[in-house]
Amino acid sequence: VEEQLAIFLYTAVTGLSSRHVSERFQCSNETIVRYFKKILIALWSPPFYMSQVQLPMASTPLTAVIDGSPHFRFFHNCIGAVDGTHIHAFICQENHPSMHNRKGFLSQNCLFICDFNFIFYLWAYRMGWINS
């Protein structure tokens, strides 16, 4: 399990292809992809997610920076922020047509939700796609 987690973290942090990661860990590409998916599914599964992720409540205290801001009046009942962005993607040639964005580069459409302390509560990608 430690090796699987190490492969997942190394891949997530570096953004390298499975081929590069397989060379680093001396495993096949298939093993790298299988381990990555296994850990990702474990982290996203309801038992782990529900025990580790705590969504903000209306009673969650605001940071001193936000509370003392002159712009606070515009965000009086706000408990967080939602934003979407396109993040550059490096994928195999066969998937290029589905990943082109309107600006002409390959990307993943990602949605982020965080509170004012920049604690992220949700990260989703490829919204609206089957199995997203």
Q: Is the separation of the CB atoms in 127 and 102 below 8 Å?
A: no
The better pLDDT of the pair 102, 73 is held by 102
The number of folded domains in the chain is 2
pLDDT band at 55; cut points 50, 70, 90 = low
Same domain as 61, residue 17: no
pLDDT of residue 127: 47
Residues 38 and 62 in one domain: no
* Domain hosting residue 49, numbered range: 1-53
Does the pTM of the predicted model rise above 0.85? no
Give the separation between CA 53 and CA 119, rounded to whole angstroms: 10
Whether 27 and 66 share a structural domain: no
Residue range 89-97: average pLDDT? 76
Instruction: Clarify whether residues 47 and 1 are in a common domain.
Output: yes
Other CB atoms within 10 Å distance of the CB of residue 91:
12
The token pair that represents 63 in the structure block: 């940071």
- CB-based burial label for 35 (10 Å; 0-12, 13-18, 19+): buried
For the stretch 13-50, pLDDT in tens is 888 888 999 999 999 999 999 999 999 888 888 888 77
